Amino acid sequence: MSGVGRGQVLRVRGRGVAWLPPLLLLVAITAIDYNTAAEFRMISWVVLVPGIAAATCGVAGTAVFAALALVTYVVPDSSWPHQYQSGLPDFILAVLACAVRLRGERSMLHMRDVADTTRRTVLRPLPRVWGGLEHAEGYLAADSEARVGGDFYDIQPGPHGTRVLVGDVQGKGLGAVEETAALLGTFREAAYHEPALATVAERLEVRVRRHGGHVTALGHDDGDRFATAVLLGFPEADTGVVEAMVFGHEPPLVVGPSGVRPLLAADGPPPVHRVPLGPGETVLLTSDGVTEARDPAGEFYALAGDPRAVEPRRLVALVRDGTLGHCGGHLLDDTTVFAVRRADERAGKGRRPS
């Protein structure tokens, strides 16, 4: 893992050049010292070479440059035996500093791998066309180091059509991730087996209560954590409608060639709404990280689709970039942008997952 980390720092045309900065510095110092008077000992700066190598190279590379720097220093040092004695402790310290850096780097990369694996497990990768739906998603973490948060999404094909879930668990941290994993696990089973979308929603509600009871029994203080969500159903037998249920989440939009409109006429208690969905129309779902994004003046981001960008990937990019531009890159919350529409027959459907 440490080799990967170093390779990402200094590469030219795919080849590692981490050795180049310390080598150029060594050559430059030696050349300048050779061409200056004895009163100006530029060669003493050679101690910087292993320090630079420690920041860019591995332990072996740092040791090589430390040895080269030491030899380079000792040769002219022998001409002035009573001053500017070679700084061997400095070279040894540079090598040790490199070893400490690489150990920290390996630990950091390991933790990042763990976080990425957790994210792929909770938010599993989805094919671009899945269950007869074409989709795209964008996830923006409020914490630049974060890999997993409380936002979630998934698509589950099944015998009764394809179901889509997009939501947001209250709060952040491991507690939010645990509830997200519980909800997605329940959704993947219920969305596949249950004929009615309302029953899928009931299973999700029960799962939230069960998870809260379990967390409370463990003595944690976040057992009353809640989640908002949008649940969609795309019936296989009726391609002209989408079923929708909204649970306190940001209302979804429909973006199509004729314009942008709300998916639901009103946001109220979550019965199943059957809404006409025309050919080429895309359903846009976001978490509150989009609508709560503020500019320097404190104004909220006004979410709006663009009828010229109905293709899911273009639409997600438009909203994502608009959100980042509005808030200057300073997000207040984890942010999810999810766009989905029925796929073109030529794109393939992938109706039956294994």
Higher pLDDT, 118 or 226: 226
Higher pLDDT, 337 or 85: 337
The pLDDT assigned to 342 comes to 92
Sort strands 335-342 and 161-169 into parallel, antiparallel or unpaired.
Answer: unpaired
Query: H-helix or E-strand containing 152?
Result: strand 151-158
Please tell me the distance from the alpha carbon of residue 159 to that of residue 353, in angstroms, as a whole number. 10
pTM attached to this predicted model? 0.65
Please tell me the distance from the alpha carbon of residue 339 to that of residue 314, in angstroms, as a whole number. 9
The 3-state DSSP class for residue 6 equals helix
The 3-state DSSP class for residue 86 equals coil
The pLDDT assigned to 147 comes to 54
Give the highest mean pLDDT range of 48-57, 58-67, 128-137, 330-339: 128-137
| CA dist list (Å): 146 to 35, 118, 119, 168, 335 | 52, 11, 10, 16, 12
State the burial class of residue 133 (Cβ atoms within 10 Å of its Cβ: 0-12, 13-18, 19+).
buried
CA angle 312, 162, 333 (to 5 degrees): 50
Q: Reply yes or no on whether the pLDDT at 348 is more than 50.
A: no
Mean pLDDT in residue range 167-194: 87
Q: Reply yes or no on whether the pLDDT at 241 is more than 80.
A: yes
Place of tokens 């060639």: 257
Please tell me the distance from the alpha carbon of residue 193 to that of residue 203, in angstroms, as a whole number. 11
Mean pLDDT in residue range 19-23: 82
Q: Reply yes or no on whether the pLDDT at 279 is more than 70.
A: yes
The pLDDT assigned to 341 comes to 94
Q: Reply yes or no on whether the pLDDT at 26 is more than 70.
A: yes
Residues 6+ apart with CB under 8 A from 132: 157, 162, 234, 236, 342, 343, 349, 350, 351
Q: Hey, which bits of 207-281 come out as E strands? A: 227-234, 241-247, 253-256, 259-262, 273-276
State the burial class of residue 296 (Cβ atoms within 10 Å of its Cβ: 0-12, 13-18, 19+).
exposed
Give the highest mean pLDDT range of 24-28, 45-49, 60-64: 24-28
Please tell me the distance from the alpha carbon of residue 315 to that of residue 329, in angstroms, as a whole number. 19
Average pLDDT over the chain, rounded to an integer: 77
The pLDDT assigned to 148 comes to 59
Q: Reply yes or no on whether the pLDDT at 21 is more than 70.
A: yes
Q: How confident is the model at residue 265 (pLDDT cuts 50, 70, 90)?
A: low
The pLDDT assigned to 1 comes to 38
Q: What are phi and psi of 148, to 5 degrees?
A: -135, 140
Q: How confident is the model at residue 14 (pLDDT cuts 50, 70, 90)?
A: low
The pLDDT assigned to 104 comes to 72
Q: Reply yes or no on whether the pLDDT at 292 is more than 70.
A: yes
Q: Reply yes or no on whether the pLDDT at 102 is more than 90.
A: no
Q: Reply yes or no on whether the pLDDT at 118 is more than 50.
A: yes
Q: What are phi and psi of 150, to 5 degrees?
A: -95, -5
Higher pLDDT, 108 or 318: 318
Give the highest mean pLDDT range of 42-56, 227-241, 301-315: 227-241
Higher pLDDT, 288 or 48: 288
Q: How confident is the model at residue 350 (pLDDT cuts 50, 70, 90)?
A: very low
State the burial class of residue 218 (Cβ atoms within 10 Å of its Cβ: 0-12, 13-18, 19+).
exposed
